[in-house]
Every structure is written in structure tokens, then in C-alpha cells.
Chain A
């Protein structure tokens, strides 16, 4: 316990330095901005900024990028409530009741409770990370290659199970991602695989290109295909503080949302999106006010908004302790760490305590900034929402293109991203979820490396994965997950859950 306080003190010392405060502020503001704006998410933004983080020191870079992710959760709710469009995919469910509240002239309390719930969830999640990350990292330090391989299998399976849409297609996307991740020079033999003689490809397909093409460009193109229609409740936003009655009505939902969100964030495949969906579904089941859900129940805003913020933050736990990304944003964070020359994994905590604890402390600081800054600034965000998409998307494209170009100062990365945009568009059209692909992409080389080492150590005996207890446990969980989801009854429920939400 004492070491916890010492560590947190160290963390706050780092997070409260002027420079880091500034980057934290920049991150959360940028996060809120892109959260408010529909059509651009944290994945595309972080991908866009990755090249820029080259020049920063690692701690500031990661503090800023983390701020974007949880900041986006705050911003996403504003758009959901006022425009009935999710500013962020994790705010989809907030539209249901939040927009109804706005139509009833209660946009203020809806925005207020979303912010307060998010802040509470952010504080709890910060403590959870501080408490659980160190012991988990200690366990992870004992992992051998077999354990790591099984862990990745589990992570990828869980990610597909929790993704929506067809399970088989999701698994196929993971494998396709793994394969694309293998493009480039093989570390063991030095052979440039699947590079077709293109010298740029011998370093592998650029991660930023994949993320930005598949998520950013494909999203813009898909948005352009739909006609935009927006109805904004701007004039009615007054009295941001929820009434005492509102608090009485929603404190239990905030608690439940936070708990569920924190838990789901830790799971591989989890994160903000899953957390908000699950919290809304749960709240609809257990709340005394469930009859009013969909008609402007404040619980239907409080629970998912708390949950998505909690989930966004606790999804850093597997990243910081195991070096395994649980969702595409975390995959990008790994990319950011690698750019800085940090190998993600359990050793980060012991070798770079300032980075580790500084980042955790910055999350709390960032949440405080968000709640203090955002409520007064809501008028400004609303103005931003009035900007039509036909002005937004060329601007987004400009930033994306400059960001991609600056990776290696050559047209190649831009072309690669455009090509990935085509691929991403095809995925959208064929209803193939891109999130599992990006997880596979980042894990491909790691998985191969660990498989090789494990097999070398066991002299080619594949049973090693079943003989080591931790590895076996993880494979069993993965198997059970698959079996459960494939069971007809659950399969139907799962489809319903995603349709309903």
C-alpha cells in the first residue's frame, strides 16, 4: 500500500510538470473535439498524430494520446445528446435516451450527468489501474513464450467474440490481419516476405497507413455516401447542473456503469464501445425506471457514459502490464511506444516507472480538466457541430495526408494509405469488421516470434501449450468462449443484443 502512494506521488510529480500538463490538456481538448465531431474517431486521430509524436519525449507523447481516447468519450456524448448522432461509436446508446431528454428540453441535465458520471468513472478507473496493474505485471514477468502465445490467442478470440457481426468473418479478419502483419523482413532469417520487391514494403506495411486507411478514409467515404441530416437543439441548453432529483435517480446507474465498464475494459476485446453497450443493456434490465428507457430516462445516459469512460481507461491495463492491445486504440498506443523505442510489456513498469505512473496520474488530471473545462465550453462545441460535414472532411483529409506523408517524407505512405482506404471500403461494404484486423496486424509478428521460441524450447512438441498451466487455462478460456458463442441460443441472443443496441 505504501509503495502505491509512493508510486502515485511519483506519477503526479511527472504528470503535474508544466510540459506534461500542457500535453495532457492538448490531448483531452483534441479528444473532446474529435469526440464531438461525428465522422472522425480516436483511432484516426491517434494514427494521424503518431508521426508527430516522434519529436516528443515518450511520456508526454503517451499522456497526450491517452487523453485523446478518454477525452473522446466525453465529447461523444455531447453530439449524441444534442444531434442524435453518435459523435463516437461508444456513444451510440447515449443517443437513445439523451436525445429524448434534449427534445424534452432537458439537454442541460443530460450533458451534465454524462460529464459527472464520466468524471466519477474516470477517477475510479484511475485507482483501479494503479491497484491492479502492478500485480498483473508481476505475474506477466514470469510468462514464457508459450504463455504469451496462448495469451494472444485468447486476446484475439475474445476480441472476435465481443465484436459484432458474424463470428467466422471476424476470425477470418484476425487471420488476415496477422498475415498482413507478417509482410516485411522476417527477423530470424532476414528474408523480406511478401514484399514483391518493393523496398518500402520490406519494413512491413505501415501501421499508420493501415489504421488510417481502414478506419479514417473508409469512414469518410462511407459518411459521404449518406445524406447528412441534422437537427440540433442548441438554444435549449441551459442549466447544466442536474437537479438533486436527477442525482438521486442516477447515482446507482453511475455506480453500476462504472463497475461494469471497468471490468469490461480490462477484458481483451473490450474497451469503451463494448462497455457502453453492455451498461445500457444491464441498466434496462435492472433499473426501476426501465419502462421509461428510450423515452428520456436519465439512467440511460448516466450508465453508458460512465461505463464508456471507465472502459476506455481500464483498457490500458492489458497494454501496460502485458503489452497486449485489447482494441484498435491500444494497438495504436503500442505503435506509439514502439516509435519511441519502448518495447511494450510488463517490464515497462519497472524500467520506466516515470512513464508508467506518470501516465496513470495524468488520466486523473485529464479527467479533472475535462469536467472543469467542458461544461463551460459546451457552447463552443455546439458551434463546432454546426459546421457542415462538407467543410469538415476536406480538413480532416488535409491533416491525415500531411501526417502520413511526414512518416517518411515520400509519396509511398500516402499511396499505401489510399490503397488501405480502398480495402477498408470493401470491408465496410462486405460487413467485415475492421477492428479484429488491426489487432491481428499488430500481434502478427509477436505471435510468430513467441510461437517459434516456444516450439524451439519444447523441441517441436506442440503439446507444450497444453502442459503449462497458465497457457492451458488461457487456451481453455478461449475455447469455452468460442463454444459458448457458437451455441445456437447464445448466438441468437448476441445478435439481438447488438441489433437492439
Chain B
């Protein structure tokens, strides 16, 4: 037996994993009867169906006439290992309430690097750079304000493309920052900090 269709192989595995996970997790809830279905009933049935379909897809990967390599994603093990290690470290070193700002920021950066590395272990640069920029945006918007968040988002995400022109990125980030402040904060009245609100 040889896997011919690598994409189907991983897709099948994914479906089986999801199906089994939902079935397994459903065991925590009441099953009920077919007359009075409990919260576990429908997801268990669906999870079972999904696992079966996944198995069929998995099986097809071995007999398919379509040729796809097994390595669908570029995968870098060491990035994942370090990322996970940092993530665990970040989880256990969470600063409590009343910790100093420097400590909190340091911790945020640690967590950010961990998430970034985990992303970076899979997929091309565009994937993890773009998603990392989004995550950074989400975390810095409240403490640093909209302007800084937009600039960071634009600069980091631009790095994920093919070309990075400093001048262009600088102009774009400033223009978008001004526009989003005007449109979203002034225009639509979204309640967001425009400037750093660390010390409030």
C-alpha cells in the first residue's frame, strides 16, 4: 500500500480526528433519548458520521489516481518545539494583577514570540507573517492605541509579501492609520484608544 494522494491522506486524517474528538468530548454531556435528545446526541451522531467519511477519504488516498506528494506543508520541527516551550513558559509565568507594566509587556512579547514560532513551524512565510501581524494587532490595540496598532499591522504584514519597500510601507501605514482613526473612531464612533492608554 502506498499513499498516492497526499492531500486526501491529510484531509482524511483531519476529518477522522475532528470526528473522534467531538464524539469523545460529547461523553461529558448527557446523551438523552431519541425523544428527548440531550446535548450530546446530535454532536455524537455527527462526529461518528464525520469519522466514517474521513476514513473513506483516508482510504481513497491509497487508491486514488491523483498524484499528490505527502508533504503538503513545509514543516520546521525546531520552530514548533521552541515555540511550544516558550508558550508553556509564558503560560506558567503569567504576571498577577498589579504587576509592573514592564513585566506585563515583557510577558506579552514572550507569548507573542511563542505564538509566532508555532505559526512559523507550518507553512510558508506569508502564512505566519500575516497571521502574526493580526495577533499583534489584537494584543496591542488596547494598550498602545489604534495608531500604533495599525502601523504595526501594516509594517509586519507587508514583510510577508514578495517585496518590501520602506518608503511605500511607511507612507501606507501612516495613511491607513489616519484613515482608520477618521473613519472608525471619529466617523463610526467605535470605542477605541487612539493613542497609548497604558497609564490609564
Contact = CB atoms under 8 A, between A and B. Distances in A.
Contacts of A227: 162
A142 interface: no
Interface stretch (A28-36, A59-67, A73-81, A421-429): A421-429
A179 B22 contact: yes
Contacts of A240: none
A225 B139 contact: no
Interface string B145-157: 0100010011001
B98 interface: no
Contacts of B127: 221, 422, 425
Interface string A211-231: 000000100110011011000
Given A411-B138, A460-B33, A394 B157 contact: yes
A400 to B, nearest CB: 8
Contact of A448 (B25, B42, B133, B158): B42
Interface residues of A, number: 63
A430 B10 contact: yes
A432 interface: yes
A393 B39 CA distance: 42
A458 B85 CA distance: 54
Given A217-B134, A406-B190, A431-B7, A398 B163 contact: no
B58 to A, nearest CB: 11
A217 B138 CA distance: 15
Interface of chain B, helix or strand or loop or mixed?
A: helix
A191 B29 contact: yes
Given A189-B39, A411-B138, A422-B131, A462 B73 contact: no
B168 to A, nearest CB: 7
Contact of B135 (A166, A179, A418): A418
B119 A422 contact: yes
Most buried by B among A227, A411, A418: A418
A182 B41 CA distance: 11
A432 B138 contact: no
Nearest to A413: B138
A324 B99 CA distance: 50
A401 interface: yes
B37 A455 contact: yes
Nearest to B50: A175
Given A168-B53, A171-B53, A179 B46 contact: yes
Contacts of B139: 411
Given A395-B172, A397-B153, A402-B184, A175 B46 contact: yes
B11 A432 contact: yes
A482 interface: no
Interface string B12-23: 001100110010
A459 B35 contact: yes
A398 B168 CA distance: 16
Interface residues on B, range: 35 or more
B96 interface: no
Interface string B68-81: 00001100000000
B4 interface: no
A456 B11 CA distance: 36
Interface in A447-487: 447-448, 451-452, 455-456, 459-460, 462
B22 A418 contact: no
Nearest to B119: A422
Contact of A456 (B35, B150, B184): B35
B49 interface: yes
Contacts of B19: 175
B38 to A, nearest CB: 7
A191 B189 CA distance: 36
Contacts of A194: 22, 25, 43
A179 B41 CA distance: 12
Given A175-B53, A179-B18, A422-B119, A455 B34 contact: yes
A406 to B, nearest CB: 5
Contacts of B163: 390
A415 interface: yes
Contacts of A417: 134
A413 B138 CA distance: 8
Contacts of A397: 130, 133-134, 153-154, 157
Nearest to A445: B42
A193 to B, nearest CB: 6
B56 interface: yes
A59 to B, nearest CB: 19
Contact of B7 (A52, A220, A399, A430): A430
Contact of A220 (B18, B57, B130, B137): B130
Contact of A390 (B35, B137, B162, B176): B162
15 contacts: A172-B11, A172-B15, A193-B25, A193-B43, A394-B157, A394-B169, A401-B134, A405-B192, A406-B192, A414-B138, A418-B131, A418-B135, A421-B130, A429-B7, A448-B37
